[in-house]
Homo-oligomer: A and B are copies of this chain.
Amino acid sequence: MKRAAPPREAPVRATRRAASLVIVNTGDGKGKSTAAFGTALRAIARGWKVCVVQFIKSDRWKVGERDSAIRLGVEWWTLGDGFTWDSQSMERTEAVAREAWRVARDKIASGESQLVVLDEITYPINWGWIPAAEVVSAIAARPASVNVIATGRDAPSELVDVADTVTEMRNRKHAFDAGIRAIRGIDF
């Protein structure tokens, strides 16, 4: 797949203007949320109002991104109280995800932010905690100025259908699989 030479012609140009986009970052690889947060910072640099809603939260994951984003003026909703693996607290985790969706739905409908990031929303959708149809309706009915980025593995087909751009982050090789622990500063 190597190119022998750089391209000599400019790429074709798209001509249609969309008022806003729906972007989905999915797949089993790294970078889904990180790319979304990078886009959020780009939007902030352009003077936009940006809101991030995290649907799943672990204790230390994404703390660095969150701190940088908040410093730059991103409105950041972490309603999750930590993702837990025992069934006892699963009911509470589900309630938190539903509450996060209520916040996100209002943020999308209000039109106050030009970008709303639904971080890891695919999990509560796939687990049946948030109806996919409700998410798609909220996105389809959004004010024209509101861009939406949704992240998480196994994006449901309804979400893929409503999206303008879908990127699949695929894991081709991972340090973790070689037994290497996550590094503070890089992985969290």
Contacts and interface: CB of A to CB of B under 8 A. Distances in A.
A112 interface: no
A22 to B, nearest CB: 9
A6 B178 contact: no
Nearest to A65: B42
A117 to B, nearest CB: 11
**Max chain B Cβ within 10 angstroms of own Cβ: one of A17, A18, A38, A160:** A38
Contacts of A31: 25, 31-32, 35, 38, 167, 169
Interface bracket on A:
35 or more
Nearest to A13: B181
Query: Which of A69, A90, A160, A176 counts the most B-chain CB atoms under 10 A from its CB?
Result: A176
Interface string A64-89: 11011101100000000000011100
Given A42-B186, A160-B173, 11 more contacts: A13-B181, A16-B178, A18-B181, A21-B183, A35-B35, A42-B62, A43-B64, A72-B72, A164-B173, A164-B174, A168-B169
Interface of A: 1-10, 13-18, 20-21, 23, 25-27, 29-35, 37-39, 41-46, 48, 62-65, 67-69, 71-72, 85-87, 90, 93, 114-115, 123, 126-128, 147, 154, 156, 160, 163-176, 178-186, 188
22 contacts: A3-B154, A8-B87, A14-B175, A14-B181, A14-B182, A16-B178, A18-B181, A18-B183, A31-B169, A34-B35, A34-B39, A34-B42, A35-B169, A41-B41, A41-B69, A42-B68, A43-B64, A115-B185, A160-B173, A163-B173, A166-B174, A168-B172
